[in-house]
Structure 1
Amino acid sequence: MEFKWNLKKNNQISDKNFLRLTGIKHTTFNKMLEILKIEELKKRFRRGKTNKLSLENRILMTLEYWREYRTYFHIAKSYDISESSCYRNIKWIEDTLIKHPNFQQLTGQKSLLKDYFKDKTVIIDVTESQIQRPKKDKNSTTQEKRKNTQ
């Protein structure tokens, strides 16, 4: 039950609907495709099993993961692959795109957080306040214990 993706379908979808579906424009998708094709050719010189999914499907799978926050298990079932294979594909695409200069904004949440908290002041209120707690009585606790034993 693999979702078949081909370039004809890609070009037939309007830019507005493609943006709604994937979260990116056609031009960005095509740039990603070009970058990943080059890296895929470099990767083929190493040994290993060929991938079951086309590169377009793997990109779409990654975009689906980014856009919808679906789990690897659910995405893997949609594309009829194993969960670990889904993780490896998404991780490879993320790592490859992060290394490319055109996609440096994908460097991760930690770098975004560093910029966010730079030159900011945080004030925390740490005043003490009393909490009312019930007083323990020896008679009430033993009665409870006796009630629970029967």
Structure 2
Amino acid sequence: MLDKYKDENEFYSLIGIKYKTFMKMVEILKEAEAKQKQIGGRPNKLSIEQRLLMSLEYWKEYSTYRIIAKKYNIRLLALLIY
């Protein structure tokens, strides 16, 4: 997923944070997820990187869930259940 960005400047302009900051966030999230997996639960279909990118893209652009779901091949039906 990250390979679609050509360089750090493009990453920053599209996502809104530096690539190094993004990778530090991924490290922190991986540690937190490892602790959570000790408890159990369903595995995620998307990687931590993909989930973080989704969040950052939403916060930067305020895209609709429909657009985000399309980008990440997520079935929208799950998002529409109340």
What percentage of residue pairs aligned between the two structures are identical? 47
Does 1 or 2 have the higher relative contact order (CA < 8 Å, sep 6+)? 2
Deviation per CA, 1:75-100, whole angstroms, max 9, x where unpaired?
123212245867xxxxxxxxxxxxxx
Number of equivalent positions: 79
TM-score, normalised relative to structure 2 = 0.80
| CA shift in 2, pair 1:71/1:44, >3 Å | same
| Structure ID, larger Rg | 1
Deviation per CA, 1:8-46, whole angstroms, max 9, x where unpaired?
x27x73221111111000111011011101001011112
CA-based RMSD of the aligned residues comes to 2.2
TM-score, normalised relative to structure 1 = 0.47
Q: Which residue of 2 aligns with 1:43?
A: 36
More helix as a share of residues = 2
Superposed displacement of residue 47, structure 1: 2.3
Unaligned runs of 5+ in 2: none
1:29 to 22, 30, 35: 22
Counterparts of 1:72 and 1:36 in 2: how far apart (Å)?
22
